[in-house]
Amino acid sequence: MVIIESLSKGGMRLLIATFVAFVAVVVFAAPVGAQAQRGTVFRVGVLYPGGSEALSPRLAAFRQGLRTSGFVEGTNMSIEARSADGKSDRLASMAGELVKREVRVIATSGDFATRIVQEATRTIPIVAFTDDLVGAGLVASHARPGGNTTGISIVSPELNAKRLQMLKELSPAIARVAVLWDPATGAAQLRAMEIVSRALGVELLILEVRSLSGVDDAFTTARKEQAGAVNVLGSPLLSSYSHKIIDLAANSRLPAIYQWHEHADAGGLMSYGPNLLDTWRQTGVLVGKVLRGAQPADLPVEEPTNFELVINLKTARALGLSVPQSLLSRADRVIQ
């Protein structure tokens, strides 16, 4: 009481303001801080349509994103990962497993896997890394996703149209392009390319790939129908078959363009798209926001900000192709 009486009015106001600020910090920090003190470990589910070998580097980047939000595996977070090894019929049971494990949030890869998880739960938050969240009807809008889903949309329809333009620029004489398409991704990617193909005077040969054996069938048809190039559409399933696709493209002497730079690094002719691992890292950051209390319905869908063109000149030489300077000058990286 003596202390309070000795304070000036200005000092009293400063003391009260300091106390209020301290209480606010304690209140707003309480959810995460208190849980950390109690030793709470958040369980995070990951559902990936491809193989576990391909998932491994993706998970490493995903963990980095979570770490930026203060979530470290083995300390306050654990990951329950499921990979379907390219067998889409396994996704529903795996999604059910994650729901039964009562994970706090589920990260998914691809439009189809995301839809499967949405059918499995309407309450557990979903953070999806997909080709086209809005176009696939998985969320209401980019700004206000609604429901229990948000995530990263890599605008694959627009990117595939640009890849088609690059193939035509590479070889202006191309009249027919084989398009490897995973039907589980929906038709939005095809619609965008069909518009551009008419403007370029290029016929599209749409080849469905639902399994590893379907890759062989697709290239058999591409050769039979005298396709001049191959555009590999965005799909976790097709990405998991990339080594086989690259080998068959080389054996068929068909120039092909891919989504991720890893495919050009592995011998593919060209790739154009966002950085795969950066996007998985971005997904981890979003999951961290959800773990901290953000609601997917109100968390805007994000898109990659950087896109990279990689050209493999070694593959071009093997195919007897001369890459025009107009493409080389735009390349972010050229593999000699």
Q: What is the largest CA-CA distance in the chain?
A: 97
Helix axes 188-200, 156-170, angle to 10 degrees: 30
Give exposure, 141-159, as e/b (b: 16+ Cβ within 10 Å): eeeebeebbbbbbbbbbeb
CA–CA gap between residue 327 and residue 270 (Å, rounded): 10
Strand partners, 127: 107, 150
Q: Which of 271, 262, 272, 269 is nearest to 321 (CA)?
A: 269
E-strand ranges in 125-240 read 126-130, 149-153, 176-181, 203-208, 229-232
Given this model, what pLDDT does residue 23 score? 38
CA–CA gap between residue 204 and residue 275 (Å, rounded): 27
The pairing of beta strand 307-312 with beta strand 270-274: antiparallel
Assign 17 to helix, strand or coil.
helix
CA–CA gap between residue 179 and residue 206 (Å, rounded): 5
Q: Which H or E element spans position 314?
A: helix 313-318
Both tokens assigned to 38: 């109690």
Both tokens assigned to 189: 């990617």
CA–CA gap between residue 140 and residue 145 (Å, rounded): 5
What phi and psi values does residue 72 have, to the nearest 5 degrees? -120, 125
Strand order in the sheet with 256-258: 203-208, 176-181, 229-232, 256-258, 270-274, 307-312, 333-335
CA–CA gap between residue 265 and residue 143 (Å, rounded): 35
* pLDDT tens series, the chain, 336 aa: 333 333 344 444 444 444 434 433 333 333 444 444 356 899 999 999 988 888 999 999 999 999 998 999 999 999 999 999 888 899 999 999 999 999 999 999 999 999 999 999 999 999 999 988 998 899 999 999 999 999 999 988 899 999 999 999 999 999 999 999 999 888 888 988 999 999 999 999 999 999 999 999 999 999 999 999 999 998 888 988 999 999 999 999 999 999 999 999 999 999 999 999 999 999 999 999 999 999 999 999 999 988 999 999 999 999 999 999 999 999 999 999
